């Protein structure tokens, strides 16, 4: 297949479901209708084979993750997703690979009634860039710079699973993990579930969130720096899955929960008097969440065990350079 056949067959044919797309794939640019009452929120992320996912990852999972990590960024801003673009750099035009990739991509895109509105297709080492755009009002946006001393700090889901999943991919010989735990951990690595509905529910409850892509400690530190505050966390409250606890020591589990990336859960802050509201809203969503600490005036991140002993941590999120 040639470039235009690839675009047409695998990407342009998929159903088009949005009225705000006046012109989608096929011209020099997409034409989109915006709403004067809302802000546009936009975010882009690139996944490079061998850096962001192991070379042998399935095309479905690569596509799913490329979109999921972007949706996670919108979730962390309280944004309703709408449109996506896809820049694909491919080493060859393998049609089975492209078919599987487009299935993975659209399976997630359709869950959020989004539309693919354009992209670019080039030859080279496998690299996927997805850009997503959505809507939020100025009052409802969740920002990193809005944490206030006294707020409680929460995270959704469990932490550290994707980190152990990655170690399993890199050093399978080191682990002897049962099939169910292994599947769960690899699923957490390859198919992160972007917390879009949680982000939307937080609009009325929180002003401040971030998604955990580089590890809780590093990502929470971004909130603290931007908001010019500090925090204390209780490591015994970190939410850990059974699959994680079954297969590593508790100290390793804390380490993974704090420092490994790729979980794509949300970390957010809530004023203490809104805790009840949070409970009601998240019960409806069936979204697990845990209070792990609180925001304080004094800058810096302080970690301790429940009995008050200090927990020493080297904050070390993933950095490319």
Chain residues that interact with ligand ADP, rule: CB under 6 A: 7, 11, 25-28, 86, 88, 116, 118-121
The pair of three-digit structure tokens given for residue 314, joined into one six-digit string = 């080297």
List the single partner that 25 binds among Mg ion, ligand ADP, none, CB under 5 to 8 Å by kind. Answer: ligand ADP
Binding site residues, Mg ion, CB under 5 A: 120
**Shortest spacing between CB 86 and ligand ADP, in angstroms:** 4
Nearer to Mg ion (CB atom), residue 88 or residue 238: 88
Which one, 129 or 255, has the nearer CB to Mg ion?
Answer: 129
Whichever of 119 and 165 has its CB closer to ligand ADP, that residue is 119
Q: Cα separation of 304 and 244, whole Å?
A: 21
Instruction: Please enumerate, as own/partner, the contacts of 105-112 that have beta carbons within 8 Å and a separation of 24 or more.
Output: 105/63, 105/64, 105/66, 105/67, 106/14, 107/60, 107/64, 108/63, 108/64, 108/67, 108/68, 108/71, 109/67, 109/84, 110/17, 112/71, 112/81, 112/196
Our CB check for ligand ADP shows the closer of 120 and 288 to be 120
Q: Which does 317 bind (CB under 5 to 8 A by kind): ligand ADP, Mg ion, none?
A: none
- Indicate which of Mg ion, ligand ADP, none lies near residue 236 (CB less than 5 to 8 Å, by partner kind): none
Q: How far is the CB of 310 from Mg ion (least distance, A)?
A: 54
Minimum Å distance from CB 30 to Mg ion? 13
**107 versus 121: smaller Cβ distance to ligand ADP:** 121
Residue 91 binds which entry of Mg ion, ligand ADP, none, with Cβ cut-offs from 5 to 8 Å by kind? none
Q: Least Å distance between CB 208 and Mg ion?
A: 38
Cβ pair 162, 77 in contact under 8 A: no
Q: Nearest approach, Cβ of 249 to ligand ADP (angstroms)? A: 44
12 versus 226: smaller Cβ distance to Mg ion: 12
Given ligand ADP, Mg ion, none, residue 145, with its beta carbon under 5 to 8 Å by kind, binds: none
> Which lies closer to Mg ion via its Cβ, residue 84 or residue 186?
84
Partner interacting with residue 88 (select from Mg ion, ligand ADP, none; CB below 5-8 Å by kind): ligand ADP
Cβ at position 31, least distance to ligand ADP in Å: 11
| Contacted entry of ligand ADP, Mg ion, none for residue 86, CB cut-off 5 to 8 Å set by kind | ligand ADP
Cβ distance to ligand ADP smaller for residue 116 or 301: 116
CB of 132 to ligand ADP, least distance (A): 13
CB of 3 to Mg ion, least distance (A): 9
Select from ligand ADP, Mg ion, none the partner in contact with residue 37, using the beta carbon and a kind-dependent cut-off of 5 to 8 Å.
none
Query: Using H for helix, E for strand and C for coil, what is the string for the chain?
Result: CCHHHHHHHHHHCCCCCCCCEEECECECCCEECCCCCCEEEEEEEEEEECCCECCCCCHHHHHHHHHHHHHHHHHCCCCEEEEEEEEEEECCCCHHHHHHHHHHHHHHHHHCCCEEEEEEEEECCCEEEEEEEEEECCCCCCCHHHCCCCCEEEEECCCCHHHHHHHHHHCHHHCCCCHHHHHHHHHHHHCCCCCHHHHHHHHHCCCEEEECCCCHHHHHHHHHHHHCCEEEEEHHHCCCCHHHHHHCCHHHHHHHHHHCCCCCCEEEEECHHHHHHHHHHHHHHCCCEEEEEEEECCCEEEEECCCCCECCCCCCCCCCC
């Amino acid at each position: 297949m040639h470039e235009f056949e690839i675009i047409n067959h695998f990407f342009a044919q998929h159903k088009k479901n949005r009225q705000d797309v006046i012109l989608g794939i096929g011209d020099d640019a997409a034409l989109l209708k915006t709403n004067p009452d809302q802000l546009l929120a936009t975010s882009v992320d690139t996944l490079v084979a061998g850096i962001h996912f192991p070379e042998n990852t399935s095309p479905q999972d690569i596509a799913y993750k490329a979109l999921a990590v972007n949706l996670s960024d919108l979730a962390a801003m309280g944004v309703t997703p709408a449109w996506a673009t896809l820049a694909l750099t491919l080493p060859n035009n393998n049609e089975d690979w492209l078919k599987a990739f487009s299935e993975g991509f659209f399976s997630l895109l359709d869950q959020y009634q989004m539309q693919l509105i354009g992209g670019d297709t080039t030859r080279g080492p496998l690299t996927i860039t997805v850009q997503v755009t959505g809507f939020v009002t100025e009052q409802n946006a969740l920002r990193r710079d809005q944490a206030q001393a006294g707020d409680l700090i929460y995270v959704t889901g469990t932490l550290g699973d994707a980190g152990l999943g990655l170690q399993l991919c890199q050093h399978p010989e080191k682990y002897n993990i049962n099939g169910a735990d292994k599947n769960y951990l690899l699923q957490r690595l390859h198919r992160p579930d972007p917390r879009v509905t949680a982000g939307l529910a937080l609009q009325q409850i929180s002003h401040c969130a971030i998604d955990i892509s580089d590890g809780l400690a590093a990502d929470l530190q971004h909130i603290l720096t931007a908001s010019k505050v500090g925090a204390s966390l209780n490591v015994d409250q970190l939410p850990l899955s059974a699959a994680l606890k079954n297969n590593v020591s508790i100290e390793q589990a804390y380490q993974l929960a704090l420092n490994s990336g790729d979980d794509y859960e949300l970390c957010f802050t809530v004023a203490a008097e809104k805790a009840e509201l949070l409970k009601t809203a998240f019960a409806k969503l069936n979204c697990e969440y845990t209070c792990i600490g609180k925001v304080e005036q004094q800058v810096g991140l302080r970690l301790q065990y429940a009995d008050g002993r200090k927990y020493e941590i080297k904050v070390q999120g993933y950095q490319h350079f």
